[in-house]
Amino acid sequence: MLFAVRMDVSVPQDMDAQAKAELLAAEKDYSQDLQRKGEWQSIWRCVGEYANISIFDVAGNERLHEILWGLPLFPYMTMDITPLAEHPSDISLD
């Protein structure tokens, strides 16, 4: 199943610099591992915001839930999740 997920991040301004650096490194490792496995298909930065839009291809709702809750930055995020379906005008489906 395909999902588009918008993730808005709000890390506390007073977070210890070392703790923040470690958190961001863990987030990068986690997301890149999922990208290599093909479940996190793409990630796009939202210009001018601490946010991204990502496309996930996962077995179902439960797997997406598991992935998102596993994000090291999850406690500092708000998300908008949209299930996706093929569009009949998409020429790549021919």
What Rg value do the Cα atoms of the chain yield, rounded? 15
DSSP line for 1-46: -EEEEEEEE---TTS-HHHHHHHHHHHHHHHHHHHHHTSEEEEEE-
Please give the model's pTM, rounded to 2 decimal places: 0.92
Q: What is the pLDDT of residue 61?
A: 97
- The pLDDT value recorded for residue 55 is 98
Q: What percent of the chain has pLDDT over 70?
A: 100
Residue 93 has pLDDT above 90, yes or no: no
Q: In the chain, helix, strand, coil percent, each to 5?
A: 40, 30, 30
**Structure-block tokens of residue 57:** 């291809």
- Domains identified in the chain and CATH numbers: 2-86 (3.30.70.1060)
Residue 7: what pLDDT? 98
pLDDT at 94 over 90: no
